[in-house]
Amino acid sequence: MIVVLVSIVASDGKKVYEKKCASCHKAFVPVEKLMKNFKEMNNTMLHLKAPTLNQLSFRLKQQIGDPRGDEDIHRMEVSAFIADYLLYPDKDKSICMKDVINAFDTMPSMKGKISNEEIEAVSQYLYGYEEHLLHQKSMKPESFENALQKAQKEDKIIMIEATAPHCHYCIKMNREVLVEPEVVAALQKDFIVVSVDVSKKSLPLGLSASMTPTFFFVFADGTKDEVKTEHIQGAWNKEDFLEILKEAKKAKRKEK
């Protein structure tokens, strides 16, 4: 019963957003463009009417309460902020960056135009937005065993991302690079992505990561019982990461 209720609320959140927020708040714009728009162009490049959902989701989670604390409590803290802001908007309470908030007038109050249930639903949607996006847009992370079978069958490379929950550069990679359409396309075409939280699980194949993020590329040849791996550490920008993926493809060809 509870499970059913939760899933209804989760899907409602998106509907509430579409009906009551989307006229002003666009959903996703790549971070690089947002930076340029707000930091250099004073919103004259994108002409946004309000911060985007990926901006809001990220800022709310970083700026409110204790992002490293218990997730349920953190969700409640973020929801409380949103509930208050929807009824009593005031830029003095803003959690957005100065350059961003200065581009807008204060949001109109939604008092009388939105119910408590809708507020709760849309808050949960906002909280989970970035994560949801990651899984939907780029990588549906697979278990390594599945990935290995698929890689052999479909002749693809496995990319294992070793991450940790509060690793700044992992967050940066995930939100700025791994959701970029070109990167997503490259990954979908030739790779199978596995993501491992190394604070909770060990890496497959006896691999180890001395820092996060580390990206391992696993080349599995269906006709042999052995695999070859290469790895690269740290956060990269989009261009460099695309180059890294290209190199991995070259390395695979050499294997044959």
Interacting residue ranges for ligand HEC, rule: CB under 6 A? 20-21, 23-25, 50-51, 56, 82, 85-86, 89, 91, 94-96, 101, 104-108, 110, 114, 122
Q: Could you tell me the smallest distance in angstroms from the CB atom of residue 159 to ligand HEC?
A: 34
According to DSSP, the residues that pair with 216 across neighbouring strands are 160, 231
Beta strand 227-233 pairing with 214-220:
antiparallel
Q: Could you tell me the smallest distance in angstroms from the CB atom of residue 8 to ligand HEC?
A: 18
Name the residue nearer to ligand HEC (CB basis): 95 or 207. Answer: 95
Cβ atoms 130, 54 nearer than 8 A: yes
Strand intervals (E) in the chain: 157-163, 191-197, 214-220, 227-233
DSSP state of 65: S
Cα 12 to Cα 67: distance, rounded to the nearest angstrom: 25
CA-CA-CA-CA torsion sign (181, 183, 185, 191): negative
Helix/strand/coil for 159: strand
Q: Could you tell me the smallest distance in angstroms from the CB atom of residue 71 to ligand HEC?
A: 19
Name the residue nearer to ligand HEC (CB basis): 95 or 242. Answer: 95
DSSP state of 243: H
Name the residue nearer to ligand HEC (CB basis): 21 or 248. Answer: 21
Q: Could you tell me the smallest distance in angstroms from the CB atom of residue 22 to ligand HEC?
A: 8
Name the residue nearer to ligand HEC (CB basis): 8 or 185. Answer: 8
Q: Could you tell me the smallest distance in angstroms from the CB atom of residue 16 to ligand HEC?
A: 6
Name the residue nearer to ligand HEC (CB basis): 20 or 238. Answer: 20
Place of tokens 């596995």: 194
Q: Could you tell me the smallest distance in angstroms from the CB atom of residue 78 to ligand HEC?
A: 9
Cα 186 to Cα 205: distance, rounded to the nearest angstrom: 25
Q: Could you tell me the smallest distance in angstroms from the CB atom of residue 5 to ligand HEC?
A: 21
Name the residue nearer to ligand HEC (CB basis): 85 or 191. Answer: 85
Tokens of 256: 């044959």
Tokens of 139: 């990588």
Region of 196 (left: φ > 0; alpha: ψ -120 to 50; beta: rest) is beta
Name the residue nearer to ligand HEC (CB basis): 24 or 211. Answer: 24
